[in-house]
Structure 1
């Protein structure tokens, strides 16, 4: 084994260890690179605009791109305001006795069915007793002070992360590829060809992946919104937006989207519907999300994962759950892009080692 190969492996190991210890900063950089890649096109377009023969400064173009993005986020938030206000009003005038009767009816049915089939050796009322004990233990463990501290910690973490990502993204967009050029300038001549090939393939695969995710989100939004509108569900567009965004989290996202849709659709029409209509509405919403999920699994995901990043479904499954073990939901979202980068780098350098023998001389 040559000296250069040993030094390269040692450098990669040190970089991996530093990335692990400073994983938060590395995460900010990764998110900022994705965010700047999304805003790169509008920023370049705005930067070419001339007013009275004077081209807009790059910094102004970046700030305008940020403003457009903030405006889109604000529109999304505005869609949720009527829903939240109605939920608050609904809770304030809620008939809890009627709600309890509505909830207990299907539980009683399930309980009687289990007892009649002799699948359980319990008396009537055991399911409600178990549920009551569960919720009592749950709320007993929750303390008001702990909840407030958790909310404050989460809010501060998100705020610091958002500011850091925006700061890094600003300079990545403002420098217009300077960061990338500086990285390339550090590559030794012996590894230049294979490194450029790896960078090109990584950028291509990640851009294909991001474009595929946009198509997936738009498709899910369209299918969910059409299905819920046909089912006469209130706030169909709001539910569809949440479902499309939640779907970014592999495996868990569709469950979150369906749960949110079911809760919102039932809670907003709880007082206006009878028990039968209430059940029919729930079935309609479940059918809509099942159709969307089957369409996503059979059509959208194979196209995005297999064609965009050229990975086997078993690879994706393993990588996503490794990401979940390391960083929870955030790890699941970024597991595939990070895996794509590492895999391409490993394959390209191994190809260079085998074919070009770039590491043969010490």
Structure 2
């Protein structure tokens, strides 16, 4: 067995320190991951700007980076214009509604739930009836004190949000301006004997992640169109808002569609007059949920398999366990980045660890 050299010992110690720093700087790593994702997503725009010439001169790198960054801000500004005015209008409308009116509108749904619970023998502890329990919970969740506390929490989070936005914008600008930086940093830590392998791996990673993000954009667009169309057919107000939110939240695997369907249903019933009427609410609920059910089936059996097979080239069960582990370790953020991170791992494994049988097994072309 060969002795560990002083150089190897120092290298291992530095690597360990680097891992510790990255572990305890998780928010910074999230900022970096978002910036890298934006850089990859903007690569088609940047390649187009590379071909633009004014008086036979190419645009300077700083200007191309600024245009790319401004396009991101423009996108989110348009989202703000789409979502915030209707949301504020609904908040104003809700503030004018008394609790008595809300109870009156919910009388039939509460009665249905109460009868169903009585039939199967459900009775909450500490309450005289299911009705008393439902009304108490409703008052608790919609209590003005709770709403005020939520708003206070949102205001206190604004400082962290500003820091995050500035950090992401700063990192993204320089990644767009000096697009060789990520590759140069990685190659600087790569031994000369492995430089060619790493160069191939980086090119493959960029290609795979680019296809993945393009696929995600297509997925969001398709879900937005289908949900919006379905809601419009059933005369639901704010159909596009419901559809776009469903498409956007769908990037969270497995639980995203559930959140989208829940919030979308609440928006539909809260903004469309007449849906809570005693004689129609069940039928409208069925129609709204049927739209989300159809979209979910299309997403599970058509959209996601196409995206994952093109970018990660992994079995659905393999992807499921990767997302499950990432979610347990890092929560929702882990679930979102699980698939692109696994795509990077597969490329690295195929280039550098192919001598191991189990690595060859999970990284082989399917």
Find the counterpart in structure 1 of residue 309 from structure 2.
306
Structure 1 residues 139 and 170 mapped into 2: Cα distance closer, same or farther (>3 Å)? same
Contact map agreement 1:247 1:257 (CA 8 A) in 2: yes
Find the aligned partners of 2:148 and 2:270 in 1 and give their Cα distance.
Answer: 29
**1:188-232 per-position Cα deviation (integer Å, ceiling 9, x unaligned):** 222223323332332232222212212211111111111111111
User: What is the TM-score with the length of structure 2 in the denominator?
Assistant: 0.84
Structure 1 residues 31 and 118 mapped into 2: Cα distance closer, same or farther (>3 Å)? closer
Structure 1 residues 24 and 214 mapped into 2: Cα distance closer, same or farther (>3 Å)? same
- Most deviating of 187-196 and 294-303: 187-196
158, 161, 170: which one aligns with 2:161: 158
Structure 1 residues 272 and 147 mapped into 2: Cα distance closer, same or farther (>3 Å)? closer
Find the counterpart in structure 1 of residue 199 from structure 2.
196
Structure 1 residues 197 and 237 mapped into 2: Cα distance closer, same or farther (>3 Å)? same
1:332 aligns with 2:317: no
Quote the offset at 1:28 in angstroms.
1.6
Find the aligned partners of 1:33 and 1:177 in 2 and give their Cα distance.
Answer: 12
Quote the offset at 1:271 in angstroms.
4.9
Contact map agreement 1:47 1:57 (CA 8 A) in 2: no
Gaps of 5+ in 2: 358-366
Contact map agreement 1:201 1:344 (CA 8 A) in 2: yes
Q: Kindly report which structure 2 residues correspond to 1:64-143, keeping only aligned pairs within 5 A, or say none.
A: 64-94=67-97, 96-115=99-118, 117-120=119-122, 126-134=129-137
Find the aligned partners of 1:270 and 1:10 in 2 and give their Cα distance.
Answer: 65
Quote the offset at 1:137 in angstroms.
6.2
Give RMSD over aligned pairs: 3.2
Find the aligned partners of 2:105 and 2:272 in 1 and give their Cα distance.
Answer: 13
Contact map agreement 1:114 1:120 (CA 8 A) in 2: yes
Structure 1 residues 53 and 310 mapped into 2: Cα distance closer, same or farther (>3 Å)? closer
- Most deviating of 336-345 and 70-79: 336-345
235, 248, 256: which one aligns with 1:232: 235
Structure 1 residues 218 and 147 mapped into 2: Cα distance closer, same or farther (>3 Å)? closer
Quote the offset at 1:293 in angstroms.
0.7
1:293 aligns with 2:296: yes
Secondary structure of 1:351 counterpart: coil
**1:315-336 per-position Cα deviation (integer Å, ceiling 9, x unaligned):** 3222223332333222221122
**1:310-361 per-position Cα deviation (integer Å, ceiling 9, x unaligned):** 222233222223332333222221122223223432343222689xxxxxxx
Find the aligned partners of 1:110 and 1:102 in 2 and give their Cα distance.
Answer: 14
**1:285-304 per-position Cα deviation (integer Å, ceiling 9, x unaligned):** 11100110111111111222
1:62 aligns with 2:75: no
Contact map agreement 1:44 1:61 (CA 8 A) in 2: no
**Alignment size in residue pairs:** 353
Find the aligned partners of 2:261 and 2:149 in 1 and give their Cα distance.
Answer: 29
**1:11-67 per-position Cα deviation (integer Å, ceiling 9, x unaligned):** 765543332122222222111111111223323323443334443322112112222
Quote the offset at 1:152 in angstroms.
3.5
Structure 1 residues 138 and 225 mapped into 2: Cα distance closer, same or farther (>3 Å)? closer
- Most deviating of 13-22 and 75-84: 13-22
Secondary structure of 2:330 counterpart: helix
Find the aligned partners of 1:222 and 1:11 in 2 and give their Cα distance.
Answer: 50
Quote the offset at 1:146 in angstroms.
5.7
User: What is the TM-score with the length of structure 1 in the denominator?
Assistant: 0.84
- Most deviating of 50-59 and 201-210: 50-59
Structure 1 residues 269 and 148 mapped into 2: Cα distance closer, same or farther (>3 Å)? closer
Structure 1 residues 122 and 237 mapped into 2: Cα distance closer, same or farther (>3 Å)? closer
Find the aligned partners of 1:98 and 1:234 in 2 and give their Cα distance.
Answer: 21
